[in-house]
Amino acid sequence: MVELHGSILRMLNTLKTKTLYALEIAIAFTPWVISMYVLYWLDYGEIWTSDTAHRGKIAVAILAIGMGLSFLVQSYFTKRKQK
């Protein structure tokens, strides 16, 4: 009975660890996904046209900010695990 109880606790602990890891990854990707959605929204809402000045540079900047923030969030989670 004690062995079964310990097995269930280990299983729940493993499930908790994997769930937290998946949640951290989802949180880390959020800034990048938001930046991609901003680009979609600008194009879908016809706020940007092909004549918009510096459209390519602004798109690269928006994606770079999103990817950079995602990198910083993932770095934070990795650093926190090492402590």
Of 46 and 74, which is predicted with more confidence? 74
Please report which residue ranges of the chain form alpha helices under DSSP H.
Answer: 2-44, 55-82
Read off the pTM.
0.79
Q: pLDDT, tens digit, for every residue of 5-64?
A: 778 888 888 899 999 999 999 999 999 999 999 999 998 988 888 888 998 999 999 999
What is the predicted pLDDT for the residue at 4?
66
Contact assessment for residue 65 and residue 32, using Cβ atoms and an 8 Å cutoff: no
